[in-house]
Amino acid sequence: MELEYEDYIVVFDEVKNMAYQYFNYHSDIQSHYKFPVNIEFSIDDLEHQSIALSNRKSEGNYLVKISAGMLKELWFLANKLSKDTNFLSLVKTSENSQKAIRNYLFYFYVDLIICHEWSHIFCGHLDFIEDCFLKGVKILSDDEFGINKILELEADSKAVTLVLARLAENYNNISSDIYGTKTSHSLERTWEIFVYSTLSLFDYWESKSNKISESHPPIPYRVFTSIMFVSGEVSDNQGIRNQLPFIGRNEDEINASFMKILIKFYIEYKNQDIENISTELVKAFKHCSKIGKGIEELNLNDYRLIKAKWT
């Protein structure tokens, strides 16, 4: 399904609103920053590419840009998934639920992108990069533990946690819209849909772009490591745990519930065998602890724009 011109205008406005709510206006966001922070947001054509980026203009002033091409691509992926029989084996299908899934997935994806860029900013990555530039420290590297990879993984993990927090707030309504009913079964199924969708997005990017693999870590690592970090963040966030009781009560249980869906995704959706998945998992565990160490060694905490741990 194509988006019409009028639809684009509506979508652009909604996306801009989402972005500004996060960055600047949402009730207590400014109080979390260490000093006043201003983040501009724009949707541009950016030479017909599918891209999102964040820039540092000066201390406390940043810019996030998303290309129209990226929004279009997210829309197509959301639409494709909402009609995918594999994916839909998760849900009771009707035209209304298909449309509800498509729309929720689209905005969920946009949320993820906005939060990823925002995370680069509030985690202090852009200020850190500026400092590295001044000191002549190289950021980009092919090494899987290169600085660029560490920053990307951290931004992914923060973004996923932020988006899940927002999802959890509206969860009951979303589940009713998708299923037409609200039972513990449908709530849990809806949860699976969003985790599957996140995995599908990473997977889609991997299949599509060579460019991303130069600057970002390999997808299985990226996903496994993110999930481990996210489990830690979610276990600290009582709001999310209260809204989504089935995901577990502590870090280990939460991690296990994510892993269950992740393994299911690789087996059912990607047709991978369990041996392959186990090998990736072992590598990812090692990878994860090194990344955690890397974040400490880079002294990224000194660059944070926020006062304390915040998800």
Query: Which residues of this chain interact with Zn ion, rule CB under 5 A?
Result: 152, 155
Query: Closest separation between CB of residue 116 and Zn ion, Å?
Result: 5
Query: Closest separation between CB of residue 169 and Zn ion, Å?
Result: 25
Query: Closest separation between CB of residue 53 and Zn ion, Å?
Result: 8
Rounded CA separation 176/151 (Å): 37
Of 151 and 168, which has the nearer Cβ to Zn ion?
151
- Would you put residue 61 in left (φ > 0), alpha (ψ -120 to 50) or beta? beta
CA max distance for the chain: 58
Of 152 and 280, which has the nearer Cβ to Zn ion?
152
Of 111 and 152, which has the nearer Cβ to Zn ion?
152
Query: Closest separation between CB of residue 204 and Zn ion, Å?
Result: 16
Rounded CA separation 307/311 (Å): 12
Query: Closest separation between CB of residue 125 and Zn ion, Å?
Result: 8
Q: Is there a contact between 41 and 20 (Cβ–Cβ < 8 Å)?
A: yes
Of 127 and 152, which has the nearer Cβ to Zn ion?
152
| Cα 5–chain centre separation | 27
Query: Closest separation between CB of residue 267 and Zn ion, Å?
Result: 29
Name 42's bridge partners.
65
Query: Closest separation between CB of residue 52 and Zn ion, Å?
Result: 8
Alpha helical stretches, state H, the chain: 5-20, 29-32, 68-83, 85-88, 95-122, 125-135, 147-169, 171-179, 184-208, 211-215, 219-236, 238-243, 251-264, 274-297
Rounded CA separation 131/137 (Å): 8
Of 101 and 305, which has the nearer Cβ to Zn ion?
305
Name 55's bridge partners.
63
Residue 119: other Cβ atoms inside 10 A = 22
The first and second tokens of residue 101, run together, are: 């899934």
The first and second tokens of residue 10, run together, are: 């509506």
Rounded CA separation 233/231 (Å): 5
Of 102 and 216, which has the nearer Cβ to Zn ion?
216
Of 187 and 219, which has the nearer Cβ to Zn ion?
219
Query: Closest separation between CB of residue 88 and Zn ion, Å?
Result: 30
Of 52 and 81, which has the nearer Cβ to Zn ion?
52
